[in-house]
Every structure is written in structure tokens, then in C-alpha cells.
Amino acid sequence: MGKGCWLLLVGVILSCKIPGVCLKLRWKRKNEPAPLQPATQQLQLLLQQKQQQQLDQSPPKGAGKWRKKLLTVFVLLGILTSIWLFWHLNQKIILRREHTLANMCDERARMLQDQFNVSMNHVHALAILVSTFHHGKHPSAIDQKTFGEYTERTAFERPLTSGVAYALKVLHSEREQFEKQHGWTIKKMETEDQTLVQDCLTENLDPAPIKDEYAPVIFSQETVSHIVSIDMMSGQQDLENILRARATGKGVLTSPFKLLKSNHLGVVLTFAVYNKDLPPDAIPEQRTEATVGYLGASYDVPSLVEKLLHQLASKQTIVVNVYDTTNASAPISMYGTDITDTGLLHVSSLDFGDPLRKHEMHCRFKQKPPLPWMAINASVGVLVITLLVGHIFHAAICRIAKVENDCREMMELKARAEAADVAKSQFLATVSHEIRTPMNGVLGMLKMLMDTDLDAIQRDYAETAHASGKDLISLINEVLDQAKIESGRLELEDVPFDLRNLLDSILSLSSDKSNDKGIESAVYVSDRVPEVVVGDPGRFRQIITNLVGNSIKFTQDKGHIFVSVHLVDEMKGTSDVGDKVLQQGLNLVQDMSSKTYNTLSGFPVVDRWRSWENFKMLNGKDAKDDPEKIRLLVTVEDTGVGIRLDAQDQIFTPFVQADSSTSRHYGGTGIGLSISKHLVELMHGEIGFVSEPGVGSTFSFTGAFGKGEVSSLDSKWKQYDPVVSEFQGLGALIIDNRSIRAEVTKYHLRRLGISVDITSSLESACTYVSSFFTTSAFAHLAMILIDKDVWNQETVLQLRSLLEQHRKNCKLNVSTNLPKIFLLGTSMSPVERSKLKTSGFVDNVLMKPLRLSVLIACFQEALGGTKGKVRGKKMSTLGSLLREKRILVVDDNKVNRRVAEGALKKYGAIVTCVERGHDALNKLKPPHTFDACFMDLQMPEMDGFEATRQIRSAESEVNEKLASGEASIEMYGNVSHWHIPILAMTADVIQATYEKCLKCGMDDYVSKPFEEEQLYLAVARFFESGL
Amino acid sequence: MDFVNQLQRKFIDYSSSLHREGIVDDQFTQLRKLEDENSPHFVMEVASLFFEDCEKLINNMAIALEQKQGVDFKQIDECIHQLKGSSSSIGAMRVKNACIAFRSFSGAQNREGCLRCLQQLSHEYSLLKNKLQTLFRVSVASRCLYVCLVIFCRENEPAEPFPDVLVFQLEKQIVAAGGSIPRVH
């Protein structure tokens, strides 16, 4: 287990060492140059490095590496700590163990020694006793019996001795006498070598051989009585002992040997007994001389030690061995079992009082040391904690690195997205510019064409082409704006516009297609809808164009497309619907059984009321009712293929078409309806539809608009104004078998102020005409409009003759008062039309869809006289607007300046030119006589924005003075409020520039180079009122 | 009259060829419309202003681009802006287009591209100058001839060199007498 741990540690260290070394090297390398630079320079260097790194696109990697290195260092430190901890704790444990062992061992040794010494002292005392009472007294006071008794009784004082005996020194000369005296012979020991085990039966022993002297035992303790009469000098060990004892006068010890009889390992302590007191410095010869006997005591070492150990606690824990180490190379074991190596060993020396003999006590623990669990646990704990923390940090670092990586990627993507965004807007700007340029050519040429001598039809064509071109440009702008819808940045304009004209132009744009397909298209606006509404005409047009475009696309060469506009309020109460077109929509459901339907073209249509039945606005859920706002309901009805029921749910989802084959059959991207929906929502409206496959679809939407003042518009209407007044009060008869279609025609005629009567057939028309001949109403009847469906040459001839007759009857002037006859047709070739015209059946043919400009042109031509009036009116208007006006032109480019001057002068203006913004400031300081200022935007020193700002601030200063009465009006040219119209001249007419112009106080802008119409529109705002 | 007609046709052809080749655009036509008796030489006057301006600017840019130590692109940008404005004012389309291309290079601070564009620009400029001068010559010649002829026919004015004011006066008289003056476009 322990080895395994170590291996693991070593493995970990090795695996960490290599990166660690690298780490150190890099540390050094990185740190080396740093101290060379001062702090600021270092900072700059760091910044540069940072930038450089950013260029290299790998800044966080360095940081991540540092963190990893730190982590590695941390883990290494942790591992080293745990190793050190293990070693330290283990060392401590071992030390404590050694200490314990040493303490125990020394204690035991000391005790043994003490007890041994005590016993020795007693033996010494016994020797003195013998000397005193045996040799000092005559006759001796001690005999065997006394000695035995006494020693037995004092044995408690010598617990370590197994027995004591006294041997007398007997010379050979005295042997005989001695033997006689005691009645036994001196015996010798069985073998000289006492280390061998001896049997000890005195009777069996041989008498001692003749020697110089003998030491036969005369007294002995009971325990060793068997040695009485044995010559101690016959044993090798005892002999040496005796000789040494009497020479030194101290107690001496034998080396351990088996004791007689008991066979225990033991040592014998011998004291010499002298007959007189010897001085401590007596020489050995003197001592030998004085020796009379020897007292010996045998120590039974094993039992001795055993006894001792018994007295001590914890004897179980250690093993004790006692050795005689007099001969160092071959120690003799005195106590103890065989040695098992348990690691630790403590040796304590024993001093038993014999300087020649050396004894040692060896102590060992019984058990091998247990594993140092505490150290292992602690170090493993530290290691585990380190690794865990390391793991956590590693995970965190990885996470940080990942996040940083992601962040960098995001930054990169963001940068790319931003770049793409910039590129996109640049692209759009360029493209719009590039498209505008050729379109300007087209429009300019058309404009020029329109300035030439054209008849009304040609003029209409040219105007339509011009209008289409303009629509194309505005459509391009719309496409550019489309992205704005998605990003929610689209804002609706609030400008007054003529709804009816707008619808006319939409229809005329799509009339080519619908006429090609033979579809009849018509527009109807309820009387209750005001002439001018305030809203976003572009967006409104976009929605309707889209819906109408869809209708044309999905309607196949039959039927009609009908656009109608009503007020939402008209729908609210179905019971009292005043509008006839609406009524017919209602009646439709009831008339289903009749063969032809009462619709525009006679084909069945879906119930349009169902298309708006879910609108909140209609159901009154939308409570807020702003009196300033009007809500329009626009319906686009067609007789197309309809939308499959299962596809109706997702018709407003972008890029989804009803059928995957739709785009193949009909083309388109499928985004139109979704855009329309967004736009309608921006107009606070709702969009809905009802569709039946095979019958057709009706789309309806509502929108909130403001009420506009008629005068706020300087539209086409103005251009026609004198013409329109010409038609005022005329009467017309419409002959049409479909009442709804007649209603539409009536609507258009009413716009011109013509009063209308309707009949459903030519026959009834004849009766109508004849019945009215006499009335004054007939005098006003200027035109008869006949629909193609009821056209019948003979009846028309009849009608004509009827009229001729009437004229003759009344003897009226030939040139006047005869009602003109017009034919209303949907799809007729020019040849057909001219044939009809030349044959004299009709005065002119009107092509549907009807629109105001066509009607006016046709009527003018037919009713005669006023042709050509329209032309050039605008020119003169612009001329009259600008005539004698003092205008300041500010432009740094002299070519531009000259051109602007020339253009304005052409319209009769008095032009002053300045070159710089400062000059303009001086010129326009009130009071001045200028009526307007055209300002270039980009100029050196002071640009147009700044110049305008300063002019405005100067003006407001003056105005304040005037208001507070500080300055009299006379001082400032009798003008109570100074505000000179400033118009920006700019080449890029984008919305942002326009907004910036307005922000700094400009009134409007004109595109550079001047475009006549735009110039007119811009200037008209300021000068018209003054006309 | 044939000769005059020819000259006039030549003038119209020439003028429309300018349009076709894209040398001038609608704005040029607009300018021509601005000419009347008060400023009979309006177009020529503006054109000569333009030529003067153009030459100066091209020169400035050429010098700026020659600078060895760092080209002042800001100055070039300003010049180009000026040139673009004036060229679009007189309707010199190709010069204007060259300016637009130039501006993108100067915006990118691309000296090589700028040099190329400058070359292109001066080429377009000299082309325009050439063509316009021819046009003016034809125009003046045709007018003079026409008026001469009218005078010759009517024999009510002495045959003298014709100052332009006089020509216009004559034209006016022609109109008053019920004749028509062929417009140059």
C-alpha cells in the first residue's frame, strides 16, 4: 500500500517535472528583458505587444498558458508538500518510538543494575559476616547450620541470587587435617569446563586431585547445599573468579554458564574473605596472603530478569536480551529468546560492578512498527485536496480559455458583421445611386418629350411612362427600406396626399398587365372619405400595389379586380349602409341564384364582408376613437384562383407561398404579403382576407390616417384645376347593365363635378333621352357613356339620330350642346378604337381602368377648345413663383454656382452668389432683402450645416429683441419675424442627410443639379402664399 | 438652305453622339435650355469656367500625388469632391464617373490606383474639352449661317459680322415674323 502511494507520487512528480522545467526556463526568459526598461516604456511596450497580439489574433492564449503554468506549479507544490508532510510525520513517529524504546530499555537496565548491585552489596555484607564470625571468633560462631539458616532467612535481601556458599582456602598441606576435621574429602567438579551442563551429585564425584591449594565449600545456603565439599578451584570459571576476587578484593563475576544442578544460565559472584582489614591500596600479593576463604553467590540471570520485567508495565511491548560482552566479538546471551529483527534496537550498558565484565541490555519492540497511518492519511489528504483544487482550477482555466476563445470568435464575427453591414449600406448607397443615374436619364427624356407638342393621348402615355419611372425609383427606395422593416427602424411619414389620385396612379401602373389579361380593373372611393388624408402615401401605395399585383398575378383572363376604399365607420352599422357599392356587396349573398352576379365583371366573388369580420376595430373592441383620425378600410377584390384552404393560415409568413408550385407558375418571392402586414400594423391597422378556391380572394386592411386640408396639397389636382372647373355642372348619362360598374364610373365623373344619371340599357337610354328633351336637365347633358357590354351599333345609331333630331327640332347651334358619346372598353386594340372613332359612332373611346387624367384628356378633346391649356402651366408657375425674388446662392464650386445662378435666373429670380459660409452669414444678417437662400452643404471652412445654424441663431436673436420690444420693427425692415427659407443643395438625397438638414434649421433640400419639378415643389412651399 | 440644314443636322448628330457616348448627360441639355438672349453664351461660359477649374484641380492632384514623402489624400479628396460637383453640374458624365472611381481609391489611400485614375481623368477631361469645343464651333457656325441666310433672304439687315446679341435679336424678330428657330436639341 505504502509503496503504491510512493509510486503514484513519483509518477506524478515525473509527469509534472518536464513542463515544470520548461516553465522555469520560460519564466527566466520572459523576465529577463523586463527590468531593463523604465515603467512607462514598459507599459508602452506592453500596449504595443497587446496590439501586436490583437493583430495576431491570439492574445488570450498567452494568458491561458500563464494560468496553466501557475496551475502546474501549484500542483507540484501540493505534491511536494504532501511528500514532505509524509516524511516529516513519519520521522516524528519513528523518533518517538525510538525515544520510547530507549526510555524503556534504560529503565529496565537501570533497575536490573540497581537490583544486582543491592544483591551484590548483600553478598559483600555476608562475606564480611563470615570474616567476622567465622574467622574472627575462636571457636567459630558459624557452622553449616547457622549459615544455612541465616542465609535462608536473609534471602529476601538477595532476590536475584539462587544461593550463596562459602568456600575455605585450604592449602595442600592442610588438606588431610581439614578432611579429617570435617569428615569428608574434597571433591572436584565433574568437568573443568563449567559451561557444560553438569550433573551434580556429590556422592558420585571424585576426590579432588592434588593441587597447591583448594577451595572446598564449607557453608552453603539450603538451595545449593549440593555443592558442599566441592572444590571450587576445580572449576575453570570459579577458579578464575576466585583468583581475581582475592587479587582485587572486590566482587567479580564469571561469564555466564549453566549453574550446577538447576542448569539455569547464571553467573557467579565471588567475594574474597580476608583475615584482616586490608588497606584499599593493598597489592594483590598481600591480598592473596590475607585471603582465608571465598564467598560465592550464584545469580540466576533469566529468572532475575524475568522477575524484574514482571514488575514493570508494558512488558509485552518490548523484547529484552541481556548479553555478556566481555568478549566483544562473541557476546554471550544471558537472557532472551532468539532475536527477530523488528527494526529498532536499543542497547543499554549494564554495570554490575565488575570492571572486567561488560554487560549489555538489548531492547526491541515485539511487533514491527505499524504503518504510519496518520502520516499517510495526512499526506494523501493533502495530495487529494491539491489534486482536487488543481482539477477545479484546471476546469476553470479551460472554461476561461473556452469563453475567451468564444469571445474572440464573437468579436471576430461581430467585426465581420459590422464590416458586412458597412459594406451593405455602401453597396445599397452605390446601387441606388447607380440605378438613379440612368433612371434620371429616362425621366429627363420623358420630361423633354412632354415639353414637346403632344396630343392628349400621347401626353398621357408620356406621363404614365414618367410616373412609372418615378414609381420605379420610389420602389427602389422601398426595396432599400425593406430591411428597415425587419430591424424595426421603419418609420412612417406623415404627409398629406390625395388618396384618389394615388389609387388612380396605382391602377394605371397595373393597367397594362390587367388589360393584357383581359381583366377589368376599377377603383372606387366612398364619398365620405376626405379628399386629402395625412399618412404615408408611399407605404399605402406599396400595400395596395402589392395586393393588386397579387390579384393580377392570380387572376386568369376573366373577371375583375376591384379596389374600394371606405371609412371604417361606414361598416359599423350594417343596417344603414348608405354607400351603394357596399350595399351591393351585401346583396351579393342574396343574389347568388341569378345567372350573372352583380359584380364588376359578372363573375362570382367571395363575400367581402367576411374578410374584415375579425377586425377588432370594426367589432368595437378597439375603444379609442380619435376625432382627428380617420380609419380607412381598403378592399381589394379579385376573381382569381383563390387560396387553398390549408394554405390560408400561413399566407402572411415571409417567403411562404400557398403552393410550392406557385412560384413556378406565378413567380414572386412570397415576401410581399408579409411586408404588407408589417406596414398595415405600422399604420395601426389590421389585414385580413377571405378566399375560396376557384372563386377568388378578397383582401381587406384598415389603417389610421389624419384628416388633411385640401390646400395643403400642391398636387396634380392643381394642374387640372381650371379644366375641372370647366366640367363643373355638366351632366352625363351612363349606360351600363351592371350597377356596380356604373357606380364606379359615376364616382369618377363626380370627381370632375359632373352630375350623373344611370340607365341599364341602350333602349332605356333612348327613352330617358326622349323624355328629358324638354327639361332643362337635358341642356346640361354633355356626354353619354356606354359600356362595351351593352354596345350595339344600331341602337347607338338610333340614339344618335334621336339626338340629331332633337337638335334640329330645337334649332340649336351645330357646334354646341350635342351630347358626346363615349364608349367604355376594357381591352380594345388601337385599330379597333380608331375605326370606331372614324366611323362616327362614338366621339371617343375610354379605356379602363378609368382615371381622372384620362377622363380629362378625353373630354377636353371631345368637348374641344381647352386643349393645350394644361401644357406649360407649371413652367409659368415656377416662373411666377420666382420672378423678382432675391435669392442668395452659397457654393464654393464656381461651376456649380454659375449653373445654379443660370437656372434660377431663367425663372426670373435675382440671384446673388457668394463663395463661402462666412459671406452668407454677412449677407443674411437681418435686416436683409433676400427671399431665399440655396446653400451647398459641403464647403471648406464653414459647411452648410454650420452656416445655417449660425444664421438661425442670428435670426432668433433678432426675433427675441423684436418680441421683447428692445428693437423696433423699423430697424429690421418692418419684418416682425425673421426666417429666411434655406434650402440645402445636395447631390445625395438620402433620408439621413435630409434629417440632418432639418435638424440644423434648414427648411428643405433640392437635389443638385436642379430638377425643375423638385425645385418647384420646394420653392412653392415658401412663395406660394405670397402670390 | 440645304447647307444650313446639313450643318444643323450635323450639329444635332454631334450633340446626340455626345449623349450616346455618355460624355454628357441630361444636365447638359438642361444647361443648354438655360441659354437665352440675356445670357446667350451661358453654356460656353460655364464650360470655360469648368475647364479652368478642372485643369487647376488636375494639376493640384498631380502635384500632390508626386510627393515622395507621404501623399496628402485629404487634399486629393477635397479636389475630387470639387471636381465631381462641378462635373455633375455641367453634366460631364464620364468625368463624373472617373471622379467617383478616383474617390474610392483616394478613400482607400491607394496611390497606384489614384495615379491610374488621374490619368483616366485627364484623358476624359481632354476628350470632353475637345468634343465640347467642336460642338460650340458647330453651334456658333450653324447659328451664324442660319441668321445670315435669313438676312440674306429678307434683305432687311446689313450683312455684318454678327455679335451674338444681334443673332438673338434676329432670332426674336424671326419668331415675331412667324418663322421658327430650330432648337439645338
Beta bridge partners of A820: A783
CB A2, CB A371: distance < 8 Å: yes
Among candidates B45, B81, B88 on the partner chain, residue whose Cβ is nearest the Cβ of A1009: B88
Task: Specify the pLDDT at position A117.
Answer: 84
Is the domain spanning A66-398 CATH 3.30.450.350? The answer is yes
B51 touches chain A (CB under 8 A): no
A272 CB neighbour count, 10 Å cutoff: 28
pLDDT surpasses 70 at A796: yes
pLDDT of residue A392: 92
Q: Lowest-confidence range among A451-460, A654-663, B39-48?
A: A654-663
C-alpha dist (Å) from residue A259 to A226, A228, A268: 12, 15, 9
Name which of A359-363, A660-664, B25-29 the model is least confident about: A660-664
Write the pLDDT tens digit of every residue in A899-929: 888 878 777 788 888 888 888 888 888 778 8
| Contact between residue A522 and residue A600 where contact means Cβ atoms under 8 Å apart | yes
Answer yes or no: are the C-beta atoms of A550 and A672 closer than 8 Å: yes
Above 90 in pLDDT, residue A958? no
- pLDDT tens-digit readout, A254-267: 877 776 666 677 78
**B:94-123 residues touching chain A, CB 8 A cutoff:** none
Percent of chain A with pLDDT over 70: 75
Q: Is A893's CB within 8 Å of B91's CB?
A: no
Residue A13, exposed/middle/buried by CB under 10 A (0-12, 13-18, 19+)?
A: middle
SS3 A934: strand
Using an 8 Å CB-CB cutoff, list chain B residues near A896: 85-86, 89
Give B120-145 as a DSSP string: HHHHHHHHHHHHHHHHHHHHHHHHHH
pLDDT at A384: 93
Residue with the larger pLDDT of the pair A846 and A1008? A846
**Cβ of B85 and A987 within 8 Å?**
yes
Non-local CB neighbours of A482 within 8 Å, separated by 6+ positions: A675
**Domains of chain B from N-terminus onward:** 1-150+159-177 (1.20.120.160)
- Inter-chain residue contact A444 with B78, CB threshold 8 Å: no
Gap between the Cα atoms of A201 and A153, Å rounded = 25
Given a cut of 70, is residue A18 above it in pLDDT? no
Q: With CB atoms and an 8 Å threshold, state whether A902 touches B46.
A: yes
Which residue in A863, A780, A782, A858 sits closest to A824, CA to CA? A858
A334: left (phi over 0), alpha (psi -120 to 50) or beta: alpha
Helices B73-90, B42-66: crossing angle, 10 deg rounding: 160
| Selection from A695, A700, A720 nearest residue A645 by Cα | A695
In this complex, do A1008 and B85 lie within 8 Å of one another by their Cβ atoms? yes
Contact B89/A899, CB-based, under 8 Å? yes
Answer whether A903 sits within 8 Å of B88, measured CB to CB.
no
CATH topology of domain A724-863: Rossmann fold (3.40.50)
Contact between A680 and A490 (Cβ < 8 Å):
no
pLDDT in tens, A111-164: 888 888 888 888 888 888 888 888 888 777 888 888 888 888 888 887 777 788
Decide if A711 contacts A621 (C-beta within 8 A): no
Q: How many C-beta atoms lie closer than 10 Å to residue A70's C-beta?
A: 13
Q: Are A677 and A693 in contact (CB under 8 A)?
A: no
Collect all residues of chain B within an 8 Å Cβ-Cβ radius of residue A900: 89
Contact A906 B34 (CB under 8 A): yes
Mean pLDDT across chain A: 76
Q: A406 pLDDT exceeds 90?
A: yes
Residues of each domain in chain A carrying CATH 3.40.50.2300: 724-863, 877-1024
pLDDT digits (tens, 9 = 90+) for A289-320: 888 888 888 887 777 778 777 777 666 677 88
Class of domain A877-1024: alpha beta
Quickly state the pLDDT bin for A408 (edges 50, 70, 90): very high
Comma-separated ranges of CATH 3.30.450.350 domains in chain A: 66-398
Other CB atoms within a 10 A radius of the CB of residue A344 amount to 17
How do residues A752-790 score in pLDDT, each as one tens digit? 888 888 887 777 777 777 776 665 556 667 788 888 877
- C-alpha–C-alpha distance, residues A706 and A495, integer Å: 9
Q: State in Å, rounded, how far the first CA of chain B is from the last one.
A: 19
What gap in Å lies between CA A474 and CA A444, rounded to an integer? 16
Contact A895 B53 (CB under 8 A): yes
Q: How confident is the model at residue A388 (pLDDT cuts 50, 70, 90)?
A: very high
Distance CA A8, CA A21 (A): 20
Intra-chain end-to-end CA distance of chain A, in Å: 112
Query: How does pLDDT run across A217-276, given as a tens digit for each residue?
Result: 888 888 777 778 888 888 777 788 888 888 887 888 887 777 666 667 778 888 888 887
B29 touches chain A (CB under 8 A): yes
Q: How far apart are CA B91 and CA B26, in angstroms?
A: 7
- Alpha carbons A551 and A514: distance in angstroms, whole number: 10
Radius of gyration of chain B (CA): 20
Do B49 and A898 lie within an 8 Å CB cutoff? yes
Helix ranges, A452-577 (H) = 456-487, 499-517, 537-554, 568-572
| Most B CBs within 10 Å, among A434, A896, A938, A1010, to test the B interface | A896
Quote the pLDDT of residue A409. Answer: 94
Q: How far is CA A476 from CA A445, A465, A544, A695, B158, in A?
A: 20, 16, 17, 34, 59
C-alpha A155/C-alpha B11 separation (Å) is 166
Say which of B36, B50, B78 has its CB closest to residue A895: B50
| Residues of chain B positioned with their CB less than 8 A from the CB of A437 | 25
Q: Do B50 and A1009 touch (CB under 8 A)?
A: no
Q: What is the largest CA-CA distance in chain A?
A: 219
Helix (H, G, I), strand (E, B) or coil at B4: helix
Return the residue of B nearest to A439 by Cα: B26
Alpha-carbon distances, residue B106 vs A11, A427, B100, B110, B114 (angstroms): 65, 18, 10, 6, 6
Pull the grid cell for residue A11.
Answer: 509518477
Contacts with A940 from chain B: Cβ below 8 Å:
78
Tell whether omega for the bond before A59 is within 30 degrees of 0, i.e. cis.
no
What is the pLDDT at residue B167?
59
Q: Which of A379, A377, A381, A400 is nearest to A389 (CA)?
A: A381
Output b/e per residue, A143-165; b: 16+ Cβ within 10 A.
Answer: eeeebbebbeeebeebebbbbbb
> Does A491-571+596-657+670-707 carry CATH code 3.30.9.10?
no
Name A375's Cβ contacts closer than 8 Å, sequence gap at least 6.
Answer: A85, A86, A87, A88, A89, A90, A93
Q: How far is A896 from chain B (nearest CA, A)?
A: 5
d(CA B16, CA B23): 10
Higher pLDDT, A973 or A370: A370
Distance from CA of A1000 to the nearest CA of B (A): 23
| A992 vs A805, more confident | A805
Tens digits of per-residue pLDDT, A278-290? 787 778 888 888 8
Classify the phi-psi angles of A261: left when phi > 0, otherwise alpha if psi is within -120 to 50, otherwise beta.
Answer: left
Tell me the β-bridge partners of A265: A258
CB contact under 8 A, B89 and A444: no
Q: Are strands A982-986 and A1004-1007 parallel, antiparallel or unpaired?
A: parallel
Q: How many CA atoms are closer than 13 Å to the CA of A541, on its beta-carbon side? A: 24
Which DSSP helix (H) or strand (E) runs through B7? helix B2-20
Q: Considering only CA atoms, which of A117, A88, A83, A641 is closest in space to residue A359?
A: A117
Does residue A650 have a pLDDT over 70? yes
Pairing outcome for strands A755-759 and A781-787: unpaired
A976 and A962 Cβ atoms separated by less than 8 Å: yes
Residue A675 cell numbers, joined: 411586408
Choose among A790, A791, A782: nearest CA to A756. A782
pLDDT-based confidence at residue A966 (cuts at 50, 70, 90): confident
Contacts of B39 in chain A (CB under 8 A): 902, 905
DSSP reduced 3-state for A474: helix
Please name the residue of chain A whose CA is at the shortest distance from the CA of residue B19: A441
A268 touches A290 (CB < 8 A): no
Q: What is the pTM of this model?
A: 0.41
Reading phi first (left if > 0) and then psi (alpha if -120 to 50, else beta), residue A667 is in left
CA B49 to chain A, closest CA, distance in angstroms equals 6
Tens of pLDDT, residues A184-219 = 888 887 665 554 444 455 566 677 778 888 888 888
Query: Is A894 close to B34, i.e. CB distance below 8 A?
Result: no
CA distance A697 to A605: 7
Nearest to A1018 by CA among A986, A970, A996, A977: A986
